[in-house]
A = this chain, B = another copy of it.
Amino acid sequence: SLQRALWVRNVTGCKNIHLSSKLLLEDFPTDFLRAVTCQVCDHLLADPVQSPCRHLFCRTCILKYIRALGQRCPLCTFPCAPSDLVTPAKAFLGVLQSLLLRCPREDCREAVRLESFGSHCRGHQEADEEGDGGQGQTFNSYLPVNKGG
C-alpha cells in the first residue's frame, strides 16, 4: 500500500542516497526491473544482499527493516537474521553493475554504467565547486550509497 511505502521510506531514509530506476537508459521488462531493485525501498539495488529465501535488498535497507520489524523477509516473511544474508551470484552482480544510466544533468545526459555513476556525479560536483559553486547540493541526491554499512 501507499501508506506502507511511505512508512518504509521513513525507516530506510535512503531517498537522497540511492538511485531511481527511472535513470535507466532502456525500458526494461517488468520482471527484470523488479530483479534489479530493492524489495524494501524500490531504488536500484545498492550493495545488495540475498536472504535465505533468495530475495534481494540493499544491505542498509534490510538491516534497518529487520531491526525495526523483526527478523523476517519483508516480502515472504521467511525467517531472516543479519547473519543469514549472503552476497548474490557474481554473474548477477555483473549484470547490475553494467546497467546503463542516463546522467540527469541537463548539460551532460551521458550514458554511464551503474558501477561508475557515483564517480561520474562526483566529477560534476567538483567542477561545480571549482566554478561558481552553485549546484553542489543538488547532485548529492545522485550519489549511490556504497559508503559501507
- A contact set with B: CB distance below 8 Å: 25-32, 34-35, 39, 50, 53-56, 88-92, 95, 99-100
Contacts and interface: CB of A to CB of B under 8 A. Distances in A.
Given A28-B88, A32-B95, A95-B95, 10 more contacts: A25-B91, A28-B89, A29-B88, A29-B89, A30-B54, A30-B55, A31-B34, A31-B55, A32-B92, A34-B34
Contact of A35 (B35, B55, B89): B35
B29 A92 contact: yes
A61 to B, nearest CB: 15
A53 B100 CA distance: 23
Contact of A92 (B28, B55, B89): B28
A130 B50 CA distance: 47
A26 B95 contact: no
A88 B25 CA distance: 13
Contacts of A90: 26
B26 A89 contact: yes
B35 A31 contact: yes
Contact of A99 (B29, B34, B54, B91): B91
What 10 A-B pairs are tightest by C-beta distance, nearest first? A26-B89, A31-B35, A30-B54, A32-B35, A35-B35, A29-B56, A26-B91, A29-B54, A31-B34, A28-B89
Given A91-B99, A95-B95, A50 B35 contact: no
